[in-house]
Structure 1
Amino acid sequence: MSLNTRAFAALGAVVVVGAATVGTSVAIASGQTEHSSHRATLTVGNSSIVADPLCFNGGSPITEDLQQECQNKATQALQDGTLPTKDVVLSDQVGVGVTPNVADKGWWAFSNGGSQAQGGRYSLFTYAKGPTYSGSQSASKVLNAAGKTLVTVVEGDKNSDNPVAVWYFQLNTKDN
């Protein structure tokens, strides 16, 4: 019995077409018919959550009026407990990722954790264009003492006062 390269090529094509059909069917079945180009991901340990921006002006810079509205919206969501939330223990690693579209424009991320010497703010990722992941940081550095830490991700140009998109996540500190 000889190996027929045409048979393998045909079989490969059937597998690729079948996989694409299944992948598309899964996306449609789960309601994901459109790709979101502005998403951020918060990774804690081995799990993560993905969110659309809480504040977004269609890709244009967020005006000062809209920034105030955004802060009010974030404060209300924090009080209502409706922000994307992850539980975290001090031994976890925490990281933030963004879609390539966001990375191309530039982004940074920080938490309201950290020591008093850092002004009560911890930088998870300083401004950069291109990279899509912040790298992992020790949760013990990222978290604040109150047990509920707010992580903020901002898309925008470093030289502009107006961000393009803002995401908020909440970390809830749990006992080991």
Structure 2
Amino acid sequence: MSLNSRAIAALGAVVVVGAATVGTSVAIAAGQTEHNSHRATLTVGNSSTVADPLCWNNGSPITEDLQDKCQEDATTALKNGTLPTMDVVASDQVGVGVSPNVASSGWWAFSNGGSTASGGRTSLSAYAKGPTWSGSQQANKILNASGKTLITVVEGDKNSDNPIAVWYFQLNTQDS
């Protein structure tokens, strides 16, 4: 028995509708009513964690007042241990990724660790517009001596004073 083009088109439509229904059902079951297209990912070795921005003004630049509140919120989250966190050993590779629309705006990432020659701040990704991945770096180059390293990811135009979104992650140094 051969299928005619109408039957093939009908089967294709059923597959598309079924896939959309399953995808929507999964999002609703997870409590998500819309797709979040502003995400950053921290990768350590073969593991990763994904986060929504801690500071976000619905796609508009974050004002100076909101930036101050963002820094306070980040400090509180760091103290309370509520930032997305990953364990790391010095030999791990660490990298950061962003959603394509974040990459199209432009972004950069850095840690509060590194050599004193770099001011105690190490770049994971210099300002980039387009690429979604920072590449991997050896963890021992970006960690600070306290054992808790803060990774900051910023979306925005490098020529603007106000970012669009800011993400924070915490790396906890483990003994090898």
CA shift, 1:162, in A, is 1.1
CA shift, 1:24, in A, is 2.6
CA shift, 1:5, in A, is 5.4
For 1:64, the equivalent position in structure 2 comes to 64
Gaps of 5+ in 2: none
Q: In structure 1, what residue type is equivalent to 2:149?
A: T
Matched, 1:161 2:155: no
For 2:172, the equivalent position in structure 1 comes to 172
Q: 1:150 to 1:10 in 2, by over 3 A?
A: same
Paired residues in the alignment total 174
In the alignment, the residues of structure 2 paired with residue 12 and residue 90 of structure 1 have an alpha-carbon distance, to the nearest angstrom, of 53
CA shift, 1:96, in A, is 0.7
Q: 1:96 to 1:17 in 2, by over 3 A?
A: same
SS of equivalent residue, structure 1 residue 43: strand
CA shift, 1:86, in A, is 0.7
For 1:137, the equivalent position in structure 2 comes to 137
TM-score (structure 2 length as normaliser): 0.90
CA shift, 1:18, in A, is 3.5
Identify which range, 11-20 or 134-143, moves more after superposition. 11-20
CA shift, 1:100, in A, is 1.2
Residue deviations 1:111-166, cap 9 Å, x none?
A: 01111111111100000111111111111112111110000000111001111111
CA shift, 1:101, in A, is 1.3
SS of equivalent residue, structure 2 residue 70: helix
Could you tell me the percent identity over the aligned residues?
A: 76
What RMSD, in angstroms, separates the aligned Cα atoms of the two structures?
1.9
In the alignment, the residues of structure 2 paired with residue 73 and residue 167 of structure 1 have an alpha-carbon distance, to the nearest angstrom, of 11
SS of equivalent residue, structure 2 residue 110: strand
Q: 1:100 to 1:10 in 2, by over 3 A?
A: same
SS of equivalent residue, structure 1 residue 65: helix
Q: In structure 2, what residue type is equivalent to 1:122?
A: T
For 2:108, the equivalent position in structure 1 comes to 108
For 1:119, the equivalent position in structure 2 comes to 119
Q: In structure 2, what residue type is equivalent to 1:56?
A: W
Matched, 1:78 2:99: no
For 1:151, the equivalent position in structure 2 comes to 151
Q: In structure 2, what residue type is equivalent to 1:145?
A: A
In the alignment, the residues of structure 1 paired with residue 145 and residue 88 of structure 2 have an alpha-carbon distance, to the nearest angstrom, of 13
For 2:50, the equivalent position in structure 1 comes to 50
Q: In structure 1, what residue type is equivalent to 2:134?
A: S
TM-score (structure 1 length as normaliser): 0.90
CA shift, 1:17, in A, is 4.2
SS of equivalent residue, structure 2 residue 79: helix
In the alignment, the residues of structure 1 paired with residue 23 and residue 65 of structure 2 have an alpha-carbon distance, to the nearest angstrom, of 42
SS of equivalent residue, structure 1 residue 145: coil
Gaps of 5+ in 1: none
Matched, 1:26 2:29: no
